Amino acid sequence: MTYQYAKKINIGSPTNYSEFENDWTYEAIWDATYFEDLFGAWNTLRQTGSWISLSNTENSINYTNSANLSDYTFWNMQTRHAWKIGSIVYPHIHRKQNANNIPNWLFQYRRQINWQAIDSTWKNLPFTDSKLPYTSWTINQISWTVAWLTPPVGAWLSNTIEFRMYRDTTNASWLFAWADPYAGTVSATFVDIHLEENTLGSRQEYHK
């Protein structure tokens, strides 16, 4: 039987298209890529400090008005094999909002690259915006940031991203415009990141 290899499909332009390679691996070329959610082990979160707690009734992590840089939750994520290697990723916080204003959410993160020295330096990522306007009641809100996580040189498959999540109520980090303006406890229900993908998995176990 004869096969036709490197078959292009759904051509949008000479440079943006999808393709099946010689080994039948699907690949999206240039701007033909797509975005997907990367989910962390939210149910295995760990927490430290006196002013955050787990709500068994609401399935949330609660940060009070007294939360500071000594109070945080932490967890790890791993990039998927489908990830477009070297592209940026966008984190989001899902929370329950019952009042106006945006909490001073602060992420710290570091990315561990396989077969490279451990990165021991935490980078700061403040969240300064929300996706939806608040009107009334309690809504499911998405907090986001205009910044992003830029992969370091040498990023590859199955790299680990380590996260810490704070509510910087006093603006001790000096990364916000003022002290936290949100009234009351903030309930976070999930964290995910959006990442760009360009293949269906990977050709080999450890290589694209």
Tell whether pTM > 0.85.
Answer: no
Q: Tell me the CATH class for 33-197.
A: mainly beta
Q: What is the mean pLDDT of the chain?
A: 85
Can you give the residue ranges of every domain in the chain? 1-32, 33-197
Rg of the Cα atoms in the chain: 20
Buried-state track 93-125, b at ≥16 Cβ within 10 A, e below 16: bbbbbbeeebbbbbbbbbbbbeeeeeeeeeeeb
Q: What is the pLDDT of residues 73-122, one digit of tens each?
A: 999 888 889 999 988 888 999 999 999 899 999 999 999 998 899 999 99
| Contacts for 4 with CB less than 8 Å, ≥ 6 apart | none
